[in-house]
Homo-oligomer: A and B are copies of this chain.
Amino acid sequence: MQKMCGQDNPKHQCHCQGTRMERFIQPCLLLLLHEKPTHGYELMESLKEFGFEDGGDPGLVYRNLRKLEEEGFVTSEWETEGTGPAKRLYSVTDTGIDLIHSWSAHIQSNINRLQYFLQRYRNSLGSQPKNEE
């Protein structure tokens, strides 16, 4: 049996599996880092604003940051000052900024595709009653 999406209402269990937005975490991280250079743990907190439940999986966040750094879109340095364990502070590079622009263009075209789908959905099914589960 396939996994369910859960969506907004935890009681409603639909089967659409439309939960994942592939790679979407990447532009979110870049944009957040452009707004304010910071570290992974705080980024997780901010990711909630972009719809990532609980800020997303730590593994996903930290690995994405490392990969972005490998590829030159962000840079990092250790911050040992202050309380608690050391933080790895990230900031966006110039190519990172370019990447945000690229992503934004792409996200706009994704919106267009999704809206095309909804348009067509409404034309053929939108006004019909739904079978409640």
Contact = CB atoms under 8 A, between A and B. Distances in A.
Nearest to A4: B102
B118 A104 contact: yes
The interface size bin for chain A is: 35 or more
Contacts of A50: 113, 116-117
Contacts of A8: 109
A38 to B, nearest CB: 14
Interface of A is mostly: helix
Contacts of A99: 14-16
Interface of A: 2, 5, 7-8, 14-24, 26-28, 31, 34-35, 49-51, 71, 94, 97-111, 113-118, 120-121, 124-125, 130-131, 133
